[in-house]
Structure 1
Amino acid sequence: MTATPHAPVGAASAAAATAPLSANALTGKRRLAFASFVDENYLPGFLALLRSLALSNPGVCEDFIVLHDDLRPQSVASIRALHPRVRFHRVDAARYDSYEKGDQDNYLVRKAYFILDVFRLRDYDTIITLDTDMVVLGDLSELLQLREGLAAVPQFFYGQHKLNSGLLVIQREYLSDEFCARIDATGRSGDYELDKHDQGILNSVLDGDFVHLDSRYNFVKRRLSGDKPVPDDTAILHFTGRHKPWQGGESGYTQAEDRWREFELSDAEFYAAYMAVSGAMHHDLVVKYGTEHVARTGDVESARKVAHAHINAGGFQEAADILGSVHIPVDDTWPHEVLGHALMSVSRYEEAKVQLHLAAGSPVRAATSFGRLAQIAWIHGDDSAAHAYAMQGLAVDPTHRPNRLMRLRTQGHDLPAPREGRPEDQLAHVAFYMPQQGNAGDKLLPESVRLAVGTSTGANGGADTETGDRRWHSIHAHRLFDKAALERVNARRGLVIGGGGLFIPDTAPNGNSAWQWNVPDENLNAIDVPIVVYAVGFNAFDGQSYRAGRFNSSLRQLVERSAFFALRNHGSIEKVRALLPASLHDKVRFQPCPTTVTRQLVDGWSDPAPGQRENTVMINAAYDRAGLRFGHDYAHFLAEMAKAVRALDRHAEVQCVAHSLDDEKIAFDLRREHDVSLPVIPMYDFDNDAIRDTYARTKLVIGMRGHAGMIPFGCGTPIISLISHPKMAYFLRDIDRPEWGVSVHDKNLGSVLTERALGLLDDHAGSVADVHGRQQELWKVTQSNAADLRAILGA
C-alpha cells in the first residue's frame, strides 16, 4: 500500500494524534530544582541564601521552589528580584496540623513541618532542599550530579544513623504518593522524635537508609563554638539553633556570622558583585542581574557580558540593544567586537562593519573581527574581499579556524565561475553547502536532496540522478538572497529548499528571516517559480528560542508561497504547525530526510554481503551546544560510555566516528578520564561516497548527531541513537523503533546501551532486515511525494 503524502509511518500515526511531548520528555534530560520553606520571619535569611547561591555557584540556575503558607506582595517582589526562575508553592497547612507534635502551640514548631511538602512536587527528577538559615560558600556541582537515593549529611551529635534535614538531595523515587503516605502515617501516629519535627519524621521513615554526604555540605554552626573560623572547604554553612545572624546572632560565633554578612547586600550591591565574578556564569543570571546593573550604571563590561549571554542563547537583537545603550570607548575593543557580532546577526551589516573595524585595532580581538568581516563580505557574495579579510586574520593568528576555512572557501575567488547548464533546464537549490572539514552529515545532504527530487523530475517520468551544475543551480542558504539571486532563481524551472535542520536560530543568524536562509520578505514574495521545501527539520534545542515575530512571519510567508512544503519528521511538523494559522496546517506534510533512503537513491547501490561488513561498532558524540545536550550530566555520560565501550570491545572493535572536528572530544575525554582508547575515523574529511561506504561496511552505529543515525540507517546499517536532542526521538518515533534510542541522561546508560547493542549484533542479519523494512516504509512516502513533485516541477 502506498502511503499518502500526509500519512504518518508506523507509530507516528498514534503520536500525531496526541499532544506534542516536551523536549525534556523526549530527551530524558533531568529537571532539577532547589527548594526552601519561607515565611516573613525567615525572609532575611532566605534572601541571603539566594545571594550566596548565585555568588558561590555563578554558573548554576535551576528552578527555585519557594514553599510558603503566606507571603506579602512586597516579600514576593524581593524574592523575584534575586532569582529569575522562582516558583511559588503554597503549602496545605491543614495536613501538617493533623500531625502529633511536641508543642502544638509554638508557631515555629508548626511551620517546621511545612518543608515536607516538597515530597508532593512531581515536576522534577532531583530537588535539593536548603534551610533558610544557610548560606552557600562553595561549589555544589557534586550535589547536582547525584542520581541515587535520598542524600543528606548525618547529624553532628547523633552519629551516622540519623540525618540532618537542613539539606536534602531528593531523587524522583521519593517524590511519590507512596513516600508521602509513609510521611503522613508517621506524622499522625506520633511514632517519631517529636522534638525533632520534620527531621524526626524523616529519620523514622528512613531508619538510616540514606546516602551519606560529607559534612561540608551541611556544616552546622555548633561545630564552630568558641569563635572558630569556617573551614575553607565548607560548601554550605548552617546557622542551626535559636539565634540567627539577621536577628543579632550569638556570642562565640563571630567569624561564622561574618561569613553570613558577606551576603547581607542591597540589590544594587548584589547585582554588581555578581557581574564582577570570574568563571562560568549562567545566561539567566547574567541577563537578570546584568540588565538592571547596566541600566543603573552604564557599565560597559557588564553590558558586554549580558550581550554575550544573549548571543549564546540566540538573542541577537537583545545583545545589540544593550550594547547600543552604553557608551563604548573607542579603544575598548572587546565590546565593539561583540556588538559587531550582534549587529551582523540581525543583518545590520554596515553598522556591524564599523564596530568590527574598531575591534580589529586590538591584536587580541583582530583575528575574530577579521573573521566576522570576512563572513559579512562572503554573505554579500564578495569572495575577493572575504579572502582578503581572512588573510588579514591569519596574519594575526595563523591557527584561527574560521579564517582558515574562509581562506579555503574563497581561494578560487579570482578564477572564472564554473559553467552551468541552461537555466531553463535547471532547478535552483537553497541548501547549507558545507565547506572543507565541515560536518559530514551536512556535506552529504545537498546531494541526497537532489537525488531524491530527481526521482520525480527526470525525463519522461524517469529518475534524474545528475546532481551537478548542469541540472542544478546552487544557492548557499547563508548568503544574502538579494535581487541578483532572485533573478537567477526566477530564470530556473523551480526552487528547492532543503534538506537539513534549516529551522534553527543560531547556526547562521540573520535579521531577514531569523532562520538559516538569509532571505528578505520582499525577495521571497517576488519568487515566481514553484517553491519546494523538501525534508527540512525544526532543529531548535530545548532552551533555544527564535526571534518569534520575525521567524513566525517569515515561516508563514514561506508556507503560503510554497507549492510543496515537507518536513523530515512528525515532531518538526507538530512544532511548525503550532506556529501557523490553522488554514495552513494541511500544507505541512511529511517527507523523510533523503539520507534515510540512501539505498534507494544511489544508482547501482549494492548491499554488502554479511561477510563483507567489518567487525566494528562506530560511536559518534556531538559537542556543539554541550550545555543544552548534557546539562549537569556530562561526567555521568562519559563514565557510562566507558562501561559500554569496554563491554562492546569484547565483541567488535569500537571506533569513534567524527562528523566534525569537535566530535573527537569523546575519544580524548575517555582516554584522559577512564583510560579507554578509541581509534578516530575523521569523517569530516571524507567525500560523500566514502561517507556512505564507511557506514555501509560497519555493523552498528551508535550516534548522537541526527545524521549519525539517519545516514547509516539509509545505508542499511543498524543504529542506536544517543538522544540529547528531540529530533533523535522524532526520527525513531517515525520509524516505530523508539527502543533504538537511549537518553544520554539515562541513569543506567552503560548497561542499557550494551544490552541493546548486543541484541542488534547477536542477530545482525535480522537487525539489517528490520532496518530495510523500516526504510521501505519511508521510501513509500518519498515515492508518493514524488508524484506530486512531478506535477509541480515537471520533467
Structure 2
Amino acid sequence: MTTTIPTASVTPATDARALTGKRRIAFASYVDENYLPGFLALLRSLALSNPGVCEDFVVLYDDLRPASIARIRALHPRIVLRRVNDTHYDSYVKGDQDNYLVRKAYFILDIFRLRDYDTVITLDTDMVVLGDLSELLKLREGLAAVPQFFYGQHKLNSGLLVIQREYLSDEFCAKIDATGRSGDYELDKHDQGILNAVLDGDFVRLDARYNFVKRRLSGDLPVPDDTAILHFTGRHKPWQGGEAGYAQAEDRWREFELSDAEFQAAYLGLGGALHHDLLVHFGTPHVRRTGDIESARRVAAAHIASGDYQAAVDLLESVHIPLDAAWPHEVFGHALMSVSRYQEAKTQLLIATAAPNRAATAYSRLAQMAWVHGDNTEALRYATTGLSVDPTHRPSRLWAQRAAAVPAQEQGAPEDQLAHVAFYMDRQGNAGDKLLPETVRLGFGPDTTSRRWHSVHAHRLFDAAALERVNARRGLVIGGGGLFIPDTMPNGNSAWQWNVPDEHLRAVDVPIMVYAVGFNAFDGQSYRAQRFNESLRLLVEKASFFGLRNHGSIEKVRSLLPAELHDKVVFQPCPTTVSRQLIAGWSDPVYREDTVMLNAAYDRAGLRFGHDYAHFLAEIAKAVRAIGAHTEVKCAAHSLDDERIAFDLRREHGISLPVIPMYDFDNDEIRETYAKTRLVIGMRGHAGMIPFGVGTPIISLISHPKMAYFLNDIERPEWGVSVHERNLGAVLTERAIDILDHHTRTVDDVHDRQQRLWKVTQDNQARLQAILGG
C-alpha cells in the first residue's frame, strides 16, 4: 500500500496561470456594424505598430453578422467574442433615450463585468495605433487614462482605459449601475460621463500621446511623431468620408485601409521580432497564396520555436524550395529531424551546408542526428566540420565534446544491472539535471555506479540494439528529469524526451519502473497530442510502477489516460527532496555560512515572465538590497544562462552579486553548497528541491506550475511567490527575513516535511523490491 501526502495538501492542477500568477492581459472594444471598418483598421494598426504583441482581444458586440465576425477573426488570432447585455443599460438615465447611438455608447461598460483578466486595455473603434504600447502592458496599478483635452486633469477621456483587476469587480459595477440609474452624471458624455462621476478624478494620468484626439490637429496639422494612439473623436469618421481640416490625420488612418492580402504582406515585411501567433496567423495564408519561400521559412521557424514541429513540416512540404535557398532547407531539416524523419532531414541539411552562412548550423544538426543514432564517429566528423566553418559556433562545439567523450566502461554483469533511461547532462550543463540521474539511482540502493547500472541516454534513438541491451538487464528504470516536455530534444517517435518507437517499447520484456518523472510543459507549450498520448498510454500500460514527482503532474497525466489506467499513476517524490535520507553517512552541517542564495532561470523567458521582466528585476533589486542588509546574497547559477540575473541587476540597478557557478560543480559540491547556506530563493525546480532535500529552507520564485505543485505537496504554498506578484520585493523580503529570524524552527519544519516524502519513498521502495524480486 502506497502512503501519500494527505489529500487536503493537494491543490488541483487547474489553469497554469492560476498557479504561476502570470498576468492575463486583454485588449477590448465594443464593435457594431457601423463601426466595423474602424475596428478592422484598428486591428491592422495594432499588429503593424506592435508586431511583437499578441494578447486576447475581447470583442463586445450585439449585432455583428457572421461575415463580419469572420473578417475580424482574419485580422487577429485571439479574438474573444462577448455578447453584451444590452437590456441592462435600459434602466440608465440618458440624455436622448431614443437615439440608438446613445444607447450603444454604454455597452463598452460591459468590460467591467469581465472576470478572466488581470489587465484590460479598452480601445475605441475610431482609433488607430501608431506607436509602441509596451508601457501600457506593464502598468499594474489603478485605472489609467488620458485626461480630457478640453477639460483639464480632473476628467478622463474613456477612449483608452487601462483597467486593473480591482476594477473588474462586482463592487465597481455596482457603482457604475447606481450612477447610471440615478442620472447623476454628465448625460451628454454617456459612458465617459458615468466613469468620471464614479472616479471623481481618481485615475492614473497617462501621457496624451496614448489618446491623441483629432481635435488637437485642427487646421490640418501633422500628427506628432511620438503619437502612440490617434483618436478620431467627433461625428465625422475617416471611413465615412472624414472632415475638412484634418487631411494629414486621416492620411494616417488610411495607411491601415488595406485588403487582407496587403495587410498580411505588410506584416510579413516588418523587421524585428514578430509574435509567434501573429506570424503564424498572417503568414500561413500569405504562404498559401504566394508560395513565398522566405515567409514559409519564418512561419516554419515560429512553429518550431513553439514545439509544433509537424506544422513546420507540413508548411515547408507545401512550397517549392529552390536548391540554393539554404536557410529554408536548414529549417526544413530541423523540422524533419524533430519528427524523426531522419533520412529526409539529412538530405535537407546537406543541401544547406553549401551556403557558408548556414553551414555551421546545418553541420551541428547533422552531428546531433548522428549522435542520436549512436554514431559518435560520424557525429564528431560533422561537428568538427561545423567548427572549421565557424570556430565560434557553440552548438558544433557542444556536439563535438559530446561525441568525443569516452564512455564509461561498465563493470557489472548485465544480469545484475538495472537499465536506466535518463537525461545525462553534459559538463557545464544544468546542475539540477546533472545531479538527478545519480539521485534516482540512490532510490534503488547505495551503489550508483556501472557495476549496478546500465545507462541509456533518453535522447538517443532506442533502436533494436538498445532494446536487446535493456532486455539483458534485471529491469528498466525511467527517471531523471522532467521527461514529459516536448522541446528539449524533440522526436516524432514518442513526442516526449525518450526517443522510443512504440514497437520497441512494446518489446521490452523486463519490468519497467517510471520513477519520479515530471510533467514539465510550460503554459503555452504544445505536444503532438495524438502521438504523445499514444506513447504515454503504452508506457503506463507496460509499466510495473509509474510514479510521478508531484500531484500536479499526476493530475495532468491522468487527464490524458483512460479511467482504467488512472490508479497506476502514483506519487513518487523527486528523490532530490529526500537526499538527506538517501545518502549513506549524511550528516547535517554543524555550521552554515551567513548567506542567502538567489537563482533565476532564463530558458523560455517569454513563457516565464511575459511582459513583467522589468517589474520582476526591479522588485528583486528591492529584495536583494533589503535582505542584503541582514546577510550576504549570492547568485546560484545552475547553468551559464542563470548568471544573467547578476548581469542585469548590476546593469539596471547597480547591485553586484557574487556568482556561484554550480554548473561546474560535481554532485557532492552541489549538495554541500546548498546545505551550508541559510536560505535559497530559487526559480528552477531543483533550485528548490535540492536545497530542501539537504535540509535548507527555500522560497520558490514561481514561473512554472511545477514549483507550485511541489509546495502544495508539502503543504507550504507560502514558501512560494509568483514572479508576477505586484509587491514581489516586499513579499519576498518579509518571508526571507522571517525565515532567517526563525531559522532553527524553519529547518525543523523542512525536516518534518521531508520525513513525509521519505515515508512515501520508503513505501514505494518496498513495492519496487517486490517487482524486482527482492
What TM-score do you get using the length of structure 2 for normalisation? Answer: 0.99
How far 1:19 sits from its partner (Å)? 4.8
Alignment check: 8 A CA contact 2:485 2:521 kept: yes
- Name the amino acid aligned to 2:44: R
How far 1:387 sits from its partner (Å)? 1.0
2:749 counterpart (770, 783, 788): 770
Match of 1:81 in 2: 74
C-alpha deviations, 1:256-313, integer Å up to 9, x for none? 1011001001111111111111111111111111111111110111111110111111
How far 1:411 sits from its partner (Å)? 1.9
SS of aligned partner of 1:742: strand
Alignment check: 8 A CA contact 1:409 1:436 kept: no
SS of aligned partner of 2:426: coil
The whole-number CA distance in structure 1 between the counterparts of 2:396 and 2:657 is 30
Q: What does 1:538-553 correspond to in 2, within 5 Å?
A: 538-553=519-534
Match of 1:476 in 2: 457
1:745 aligns with 2:739: no
Q: What does 1:495-644 correspond to in 2, within 5 Å?
A: 495-609=476-590, 612-644=591-623
1:129 aligns with 2:122: yes
- Name the amino acid aligned to 2:676: R
The whole-number CA distance in structure 2 between the counterparts of 1:59 and 1:360 is 31
How far 1:98 sits from its partner (Å)? 1.1
Match of 1:420 in 2: 411
Match of 2:759 in 1: 780
Match of 2:423 in 1: 432
Aligned-residue RMSD, C-alpha? 1.0
How far 1:420 sits from its partner (Å)? 2.9
Q: What does 1:176-195 correspond to in 2, within 5 Å?
A: 176-195=169-188
How far 1:499 sits from its partner (Å)? 2.3
1:239 aligns with 2:232: yes
How far 1:15 sits from its partner (Å)? 5.5
How far 1:417 sits from its partner (Å)? 6.2
1:718 aligns with 2:697: yes
How far 1:398 sits from its partner (Å)? 2.0
SS of aligned partner of 1:503: coil
- Name the amino acid aligned to 2:106: Y
Match of 1:296 in 2: 289
Q: What does 1:83-102 correspond to in 2, within 5 Å?
A: 83-102=76-95
Match of 2:404 in 1: 411
The whole-number CA distance in structure 2 between the counterparts of 1:387 and 1:577 is 41
Match of 2:8 in 1: 14
Match of 1:109 in 2: 102
Residues 417/707 of structure 1: CA separation in 2 closer, same or farther (3 Å cut): closer
The whole-number CA distance in structure 2 between the counterparts of 1:233 and 1:352 is 47
The whole-number CA distance in structure 2 between the counterparts of 1:366 and 1:554 is 34
Q: What does 1:190-201 correspond to in 2, within 5 Å?
A: 190-201=183-194
The whole-number CA distance in structure 1 between the counterparts of 2:584 and 2:390 is 45
Match of 1:441 in 2: 432
Alignment check: 8 A CA contact 1:556 1:580 kept: yes
How far 1:412 sits from its partner (Å)? 4.0
Moved more, 388-397 or 73-82: 388-397
The whole-number CA distance in structure 1 between the counterparts of 2:395 and 2:760 is 39
Alignment check: 8 A CA contact 2:220 2:247 kept: yes
Moved more, 569-578 or 419-428: 419-428
The whole-number CA distance in structure 2 between the counterparts of 1:70 and 1:536 is 51
Q: What does 1:21-170 correspond to in 2, within 5 Å?
A: 21-170=14-163
SS of aligned partner of 1:603: coil
How far 1:409 sits from its partner (Å)? 1.7
How many residues align? The count is 774
- Name the amino acid aligned to 2:8: A
The whole-number CA distance in structure 2 between the counterparts of 1:662 and 1:756 is 27
SS of aligned partner of 1:280: coil
Match of 1:453 in 2: 444
Alignment check: 8 A CA contact 1:133 1:240 kept: yes
The whole-number CA distance in structure 2 between the counterparts of 1:598 and 1:418 is 27
C-alpha deviations, 1:538-596, integer Å up to 9, x for none? 00000111100000000000000000000000000000000000000000000000000
The whole-number CA distance in structure 1 between the counterparts of 2:490 and 2:167 is 44
Residues 151/487 of structure 1: CA separation in 2 closer, same or farther (3 Å cut): same
The whole-number CA distance in structure 1 between the counterparts of 2:131 and 2:285 is 26
Q: What does 1:193-232 correspond to in 2, within 5 Å?
A: 193-232=186-225
2:313 counterpart (317, 320, 323): 320
Match of 1:727 in 2: 706
SS of aligned partner of 1:60: coil
C-alpha deviations, 1:401-453, integer Å up to 9, x for none? 2222222222246xx86243100010000000001110000000000000012
1:387 counterpart (380, 384, 388): 380
Alignment check: 8 A CA contact 2:9 2:714 kept: no
Alignment check: 8 A CA contact 1:644 1:751 kept: yes
SS of aligned partner of 2:652: helix
- Name the amino acid aligned to 1:592: P
- Name the amino acid aligned to 1:14: A
Alignment check: 8 A CA contact 1:656 1:681 kept: yes
The whole-number CA distance in structure 2 between the counterparts of 1:234 and 1:669 is 30
- Name the amino acid aligned to 2:258: L
The whole-number CA distance in structure 1 between the counterparts of 2:369 and 2:453 is 26
C-alpha deviations, 1:38-82, integer Å up to 9, x for none? 010000000000010011111111111111111111111111111
SS of aligned partner of 1:152: strand
Structure 1 unaligned regions, length at least 5: 455-464
SS of aligned partner of 2:404: coil
Alignment check: 8 A CA contact 2:9 2:715 kept: no
Alignment check: 8 A CA contact 2:12 2:552 kept: no
The whole-number CA distance in structure 2 between the counterparts of 1:228 and 1:522 is 72
1:794 aligns with 2:773: yes
SS of aligned partner of 1:399: coil
- Name the amino acid aligned to 1:421: G
C-alpha deviations, 1:166-219, integer Å up to 9, x for none? 000000000011100110111111111111111111001000000000000000
The whole-number CA distance in structure 2 between the counterparts of 1:448 and 1:19 is 28
Alignment check: 8 A CA contact 2:213 2:230 kept: yes
1:356 counterpart (335, 340, 349): 349
Q: What does 1:238-277 correspond to in 2, within 5 Å?
A: 238-277=231-270
Match of 1:459 in 2: none
The whole-number CA distance in structure 2 between the counterparts of 1:703 and 1:417 is 33
SS of aligned partner of 1:158: coil
Alignment check: 8 A CA contact 1:68 1:91 kept: yes
- Name the amino acid aligned to 2:137: L
Alignment check: 8 A CA contact 1:66 1:88 kept: yes
- Name the amino acid aligned to 1:497: I
The whole-number CA distance in structure 2 between the counterparts of 1:390 and 1:399 is 12
Alignment check: 8 A CA contact 1:8 1:734 kept: no
The whole-number CA distance in structure 2 between the counterparts of 1:402 and 1:58 is 30
The whole-number CA distance in structure 1 between the counterparts of 2:286 and 2:210 is 31
The whole-number CA distance in structure 2 between the counterparts of 1:55 and 1:703 is 38
